[in-house]
Structure 1
Amino acid sequence: MARMSGVLVAVVVGLSLVTAAPATAERAHPFPTEFSLPDGFRPEGIAIGDTPTAYLGSLADGDLFRLNLRTGRGEVFSQGPGTPSVGLKIDDRGRLFVAGGTAGDARVVDSRNGAILKSYQFAESGAFVNDVVITDDAAYFTDSSKPVLYKIAFGRHGKLPDTFSTVPLTGDFVPTPGFNGNGIAETPDRKALLVVQSSTGQLHRTVDGVTEVVDLGGEVLTAGDGLLVRGRTLYVVQNALDSVAVFTLNRAGTSGKLVTKITDPRFDVPTTVAAFGNRLYLPNARFSTPPTPTTAYQVIAVPNR
């Protein structure tokens, strides 16, 4: 996820539906390729599970938006706490794990009714909790201001614990001025994690916090943001470049080869990516556009390459 710029604009968004296309167009052309979000919403993260539903969080006030990918209709289903919602992921139990940015926290939300199931205060100040990945046994959050991961270890049957642990990042991961740890994903073999360091353009592989730089054949992930791994394919959103770099990784995630770069004239500082079927879905954060309560925001769908 990317760094926020400007003043957080508090936006009160009602529970009314937002429609990307007329009903007749929905029947004729299901699965639109562009989706409207509420004005002033300021999207950053996106999560998609096994159904054609996307979930997005607002940087403005933390509201959560549920979007039907088949019809283009959506609604705010969970009111935010007045602080940002940044990266988010959904697990197979329908729980949304939401990174809280400058609030230094995270919350777990029921994707059906918007109820908060659990909250965690990782840091009191100086943090930017940015992105999250869910593994079989834990959820891990990055902090772009501190060289750590925050780990929520699941109990039996995925039970949410009352506490969390902080995992220092050591080895090749060296903090530099600017945004550091950002997007996070599992390696193809699911034995390690991948973390992009925005300030250096490096991709790191980490096990229990010990990191090593992934060999990408000399490719530098300038403006590296959200990550997505599907099979052995890695997608890296490069927000300010309006581009998605696509790599083929080895199973261990220690090396990768650039395959292509996805661009689209509709991109306007996309921050991260999620997938459903043969499409990728990216929210336009529009960081180069001053945010106002009437600024328009969209989600863009492109073919999965």
Structure 2
Amino acid sequence: MSRLLASGAVAVLSLTLVSGVQPANAVRATPDGSFPARLELPDGFQPEGIATGAGPTAWLGSRADGDIYELSLRTGEGRTISEGPGTPSLGLKHDRDGRLYVAGGTSGTARVIDTETGAVLRDIPLATAPSFVNDVVLTKGAAWFTDSNRAQLYRVDRSPDGEPATIATTVPLTGEWVQGAGLGGNGISTTPTGHALLVVNSTSGLLYRVEPATGVATEVDLGGASLTMGDGLLRHGRTLYVVRNRANEIAVIRLSKSGLTGRLVRTIDADDLAGTTSFDVPTTVGRFGSRLYLPNARFTTPPTPTTDYWVTEVPARAGD
């Protein structure tokens, strides 16, 4: 993602459910039952993050005002389920209990939203300015957030039943981590064993394996492959999808079990897309079944209230 910027009683804090309007050009499933290759978002939405879940459903965050939009991957129909706070909603992850974890960009916060009601269950301060909370991954015991402005991660503990804590712990990135100038840590995932984290540095193009307990980072040996412009990460087994936003492609990495080495096996680009859709600076990626879904942030297009935005579908098998 780029720089642009308690149960029960808690649930009553923000029960506003906003009935968004389905885009006029929303695409429904094709007559043969296949899913649409292009799914329209509301004009002016400015998408950044995406998370997928059963339904089949995706949730997207707006970097303009933080709105959360729920989208049917089968029909293209959608609605705004939670109004934003006026600050960005960037990286997203969805857990099995219907909680959506949201990286808050320049707000320096993390939010947790109930996707059934739109209620904000948690609004957790992570850092003061200048911070840029960019992406999030869920592990068994925590939610982990990156900060592209600072060489550190934020850990929000989760109870055995998945309930998030109300405070966060800062974990500095040490070891071989080099912050550098420009955007630093961006997309985040886990290693195939689940024992460590993977974080991409957008500017240097390096991928790091990070020990959660200590923050010690080790550069992943990619055999010379560069991940500059690396944005959202998604791991499926030992396959790591790395969205390279302004390059309009997905780098597909085959990882070792430890996550200390990997090799670039191919890229997914415009040649892999159906003729009805395109890439225009995709930022993050979600997966449903054998399909990948990427919101197009269109960073090179000046945003207006009428600028169109969409989600691009591409077969995951193109990179497996």
What TM-score does the superposition give when structure 1 sets the normalisation length? 0.94
Match of 1:16 in 2: 21
Alpha-carbon offset, residue 26 of structure 1: 5.1
The one-letter amino acid paired with 2:230 is G
Flag structure 1 segments of 5+ consecutive residues without an equivalent: 6-12
Quick check: 1:104–1:124 contact (8 Å CA) kept in 2? yes
Q: Distance in 2 between matches of 1:163 and 1:22?
A: 41
1:9 alignment counterpart: none
In structure 2, runs of 5+ residues without a counterpart are 6-17, 272-277
Aligned: 1:210 with 2:222? no
- Once the two structures are superposed, residues 245-297 of structure 1 have per-residue CA deviations (whole angstroms, 9 ceiling, x without a partner) of 00110111000011110002711000011111111100000000011111100
Correspondence for 1:223: 229
Residue type matched to 1:297 in 2?
A: Y
Tell me the residue number matched to 1:261: 267
After superposition, the C-alpha distances for 1:46-74 in whole angstroms (9 at most, x for unaligned) are: 00124310000001100000000011111
1:174 equivalent in structure 2: 178
Does structure 2 retain, via aligned residues, the 8 Å contact 1:19–1:72? Answer: no
CA RMSD after TM alignment = 1.5
Aligned letter for 1:17? Q
Cα pair 2:27 2:39 within 8 Å, conserved: no
**Cα deviation code 1:8-62 (max 9, x no counterpart):** xxxxx96222355466x65554411101000000000000124310000001100
Query: Residues 125 and 70 from structure 1, CA distance in 2 versus in 1: closer, same or farther, beyond 3 angstroms?
Result: same
Q: Counterparts in 2 of 1:124-203, with a 5 A limit?
A: 124-203=128-207
Q: Percent identical across equivalent pairs?
A: 54
Equivalences for residues 23-42 of structure 1 within 5 A: 28-42=32-46
User: Contact conserved, 1:272 with 1:283, CA < 8 A, in 2?
Assistant: yes
Out of 267, 272, 276, the residue aligned to residue 288 of structure 2 is 276
SS at match of 1:270: coil
Whether 1:3 aligns to 2:3 is yes
Q: Secondary structure at the match of 1:240?
A: coil
Q: Indicate whether 1:66 and 2:70 are aligned.
A: yes
TM-score (norm 2): 0.90
Alignment check: 8 A CA contact 1:133 1:139 kept: yes
Counterpart position of 1:232: 238
Deviation digits for residues 83-123 of structure 1 (CA, Å, limit 9, x no counterpart): 10000000111100000000110100001111101111111
Residues 96 and 110 in structure 1, CA contact (< 8 A), matched pair in contact too: yes
Match of 2:15 in 1: none
Q: Are residue 75 (structure 1) and residue 79 (structure 2) matched? A: yes
